[in-house]
Chain A
Amino acid sequence: METVFTPWQSLAGGVLIGTAAVFLMLTLGRIMGATGILSGVIWPGGPGDRGWRAALLAGMVTGPLVVFAATGRMPEIEVPAATPVFVVGGIIVGIGVSYGSGCTSGHGVCGMARLSKRSILATVTFMIATAATVYLRRHVMGG
């Protein structure tokens, strides 16, 4: 499935993601990591742990609606996998980010920006694993 190359839009999106990460550090002193934010809402580690994460999550979910209000179009979502496969992928992601202590936002953006060795190693590892998985599914298994 071909997708359109969108360098400027993607760059602008990236700058916004980075801006949000910087302001979360400036205001709450926290890392902008989607894994920790989601699991902290459902399984808070202590008092005062849930509120800010819930507010952040509410803001994130409103994002596509603001884009819709401004452009008249919802962000495109195309899922190039059968539903059972897609759901199994979700379970694997959940297990992986738990053991790996983070995902693309926490390690790939915030951790890398702090030049954390753990985050650089984690990011290189999951990028290679993702590319290998895509290659196997599309070019070896013919999925």
Chain B
Amino acid sequence: MRLIVTYLIGLVFGVGISISGMANPAKVLNFFDFAGSWDPSLIFVMGGALVTTFVGYRLVLGRKAPVFDVRYHLPTRADLDVRLIGGSAVFGVGWGISGFCPGGALPALGTGRWEVFAFTGAMLVGIAVARVMQRLPLATGQRVNS
């Protein structure tokens, strides 16, 4: 039951990414190209997602616990460190080069396009490199906010 519900949530996310345009690097890059072929569509993606999540989280987090768990797994770190800023800046450079962010690329794997698999493979190489460099487990829900 829990896994079926989770699968359906992933499906809603995947359909959302697909119709929003976030799975299309050309569209994503045009959003950032204010000086050229600007396409403001992604403001609507971010706006729609943010307002929905902002309101929804307020309703959900008022409950004692989630349906299938005893507690919420929310990031607790509050420090604004160099690693956060530097990592985010590096991510932005990669996003600006490729036009794919992880949330855009994962659903796009379903199109079967080899470019998406190449990107996702390369991204995993990058994550593996960072894991070795940091020698820290990255994938625990407590530490990774994304």
Query: Which residues of A pack against B, CB within 8 Å?
Result: 1-40, 42-46, 49, 51-52, 55-67, 74-81, 83, 85-114, 116-119, 121-123, 125-135, 137-139
B59-95 vs A, Cβ < 8 Å mask (1 yes, 0 no): 1110101111101111101111001111111111111
**Interface of B, helix, strand, loop or mixed by DSSP:** helix
**Known: A29-B65, A114-B74, A139-B36. Is A49-B20 also a contact (CB below 8 A)?**
no
Is B106 in contact with A94, judged by CB distance below 8 angstroms? no
A61 near B109 (CB under 8 angstroms)? Answer: yes
Residues of A within 8 A of B30 (CB): 1-3
B135 proximal to A (CB < 8 A): no
B21 and A13 form a contact (CB under 8 A): yes
Report the count of interface residues on B (CB-CB < 8 A). 125
What are some 30 contacts across the A-B interface (CB < 8 A)?
A6-B44, A9-B21, A12-B48, A14-B44, A17-B45, A25-B56, A27-B68, A28-B66, A30-B141, A31-B145, A44-B139, A59-B10, A62-B110, A63-B13, A66-B11, A66-B14, A89-B100, A93-B91, A93-B123, A97-B91, A98-B87, A98-B130, A99-B134, A100-B91, A110-B53, A117-B78, A118-B145, A122-B88, A126-B92, A137-B97
> Which of B5, B93, B143 makes the CB contact (< 8 A) with A129?
B93
List, in ascending order, chain B residues with CB within 8 A of A20's CB. 9-10, 12-13, 16
Chain A residues within an 8 Å CB radius of B4: 55
Quick check: A87 and B119 within 8 Å, CB to CB? yes
With A and B bound together, what is the CA distance between A119 and B84 in angstroms? Answer: 9
- List chain B residues, Cβ under 8 A from A46: 140
Beyond A16-B20, A25-B61, A113-B53: 20 further Cβ-contacts under 8 Å?
Answer: A3-B24, A3-B41, A10-B41, A10-B48, A18-B48, A20-B16, A25-B66, A30-B66, A30-B73, A62-B10, A64-B107, A75-B19, A76-B26, A77-B111, A85-B97, A86-B115, A99-B84, A101-B143, A119-B145, A135-B34
